Amino acid sequence: MNSVLKNKNIVVGITGSIAAYKAVEIIRLLRKKEAIIYPVMTRAATYFVHPLTFQTLSSQRVTRKMFKEEKKEIPHLSLAKLADLLLIAPATANIIGKIANGIADDILTTTVLATRAPVVIAPAMNYRMFRNPIFQTNMNKLKTFGFKFIGPEKGVLASGEAEIGRMVDPPRIVKYLEKVMNSLNDFQGKSFLITAGPTREPLDEVRFFSNYSSGKMGYALAEEGISRGAKIILISGPTFLTPPAKAEFYLVESAKDMEKKVMDNFSKVDGVFMVAAVADYRPEKRREGKIKKDSQKELTIKLVQNPDILKELGERKKDKILIGFCAEVENIEEEAKKKLKEKNLDLIVANDITLEGAGFEEETNIVTLIDKNGKIEYLAKRSKREIAVKIWDKVKNLLEKDIS
């Protein structure tokens, strides 16, 4: 059986770590899968393994410099364009820090910044460096942008200590690359609608009712869906986020605006992720002009209920996949299961917004996934992009079960 890596162009970046010798085995295994390998070495990497080793194994010249006079095309741009996948193994704290902060001062970092291919990073370093909060911030920042990490793991390090920081073994890395390559076509030909962010319910010309939603979870789901081959319609309330370039994007303001745009597009999609924090209530009347505080000592505002968009979708879903989200402060599972049933959902994503690192405006989240079959999965704190990966995995499983 042919590997999904067959005839794929894989750029393998090797950096200055003692684990560089493991890259030799990675390239050997990738060649066995009939992948086409383009080795890129940093200057520090050449102190650990001679470039000739990688050139012999890959049958490709090792790229080490940014510019070569005899080349008509700039190396980092040509590598970035041809890559189907880019792997950095081993990846030092230094290279991860550079990429996370947009520094492109060598052939590898410029290639990473120029490519649109998935980037997989296999860290290798001393455990003290790995646990340093600066490194953790850099790593989490890249995860948020969709960079994929495998490892590190616990094991005996170069220092002789048995701790975390050891690069994952080559067979596992190659298997992970196959998984990443497979995922690129997970939702090819499928369309999904994603709502994100808050809604604003106007009181007068200058004031409105809203909530703390940043839109980060919905936008992360949109990015991940696009990376896996799905066509995405993103309907967002006001946020400070940049919508994914490949998404069909609509900006809305109020719950009524969002309802209309969702219903206009519902027939076009295979499923809906209702991530937006839609206001439950709105002022009965929008006041003209601006309410003056000196005009009255007390202000009574009558609120009326907004439409329940998710419930409306559940009533007309037919064979579409419907995913709901709920933010709670108590009885998380109980409330989630209730909404799952009442709104005819296939999957609900619940989070306790009282937990540190979860909820609105955070870069991370802590969620519980409950599907229509009653299966529960708890996801510990991780970046919202990593949460998005898990949710899309769950949707893939639900689609496959429906087909079978």
Known catalytic residue at 331: no
Are the beta carbons of 311 and 343 closer than 8 angstroms?
yes
Exposed e or buried b per residue across 369-388, where buried means at least 16 C-beta atoms within 10 angstroms of its C-beta: bbbbeeeeeebeebbbbbbb
Alpha helices in 61-215 (DSSP H): 75-82, 93-100, 107-114, 127-131, 133-144, 170-183
Spot the catalytic one: 9, 211, 265, 344: 211
Q: What is the separation of C-alpha 393 from the centre of its chain, rounded to a whole number of angstroms?
A: 12
Other CB atoms within a 10 A radius of the CB of residue 217 amount to 30
Number of H helices, E strands in the chain: 13, 19
Contact assessment for residue 241 and residue 219, using Cβ atoms and an 8 Å cutoff: yes
Q: Alpha-carbon Rg of the chain, whole angstroms?
A: 24
Q: Bridge partners of 282?
A: 304
What are the residues whose beta carbons fall under 8 Å from the beta carbon of 61, sequence distance 6 or more? 55
Residue whose pair of structure tokens reads 């990675």 in the numeric block: 26
Active site residues: 211
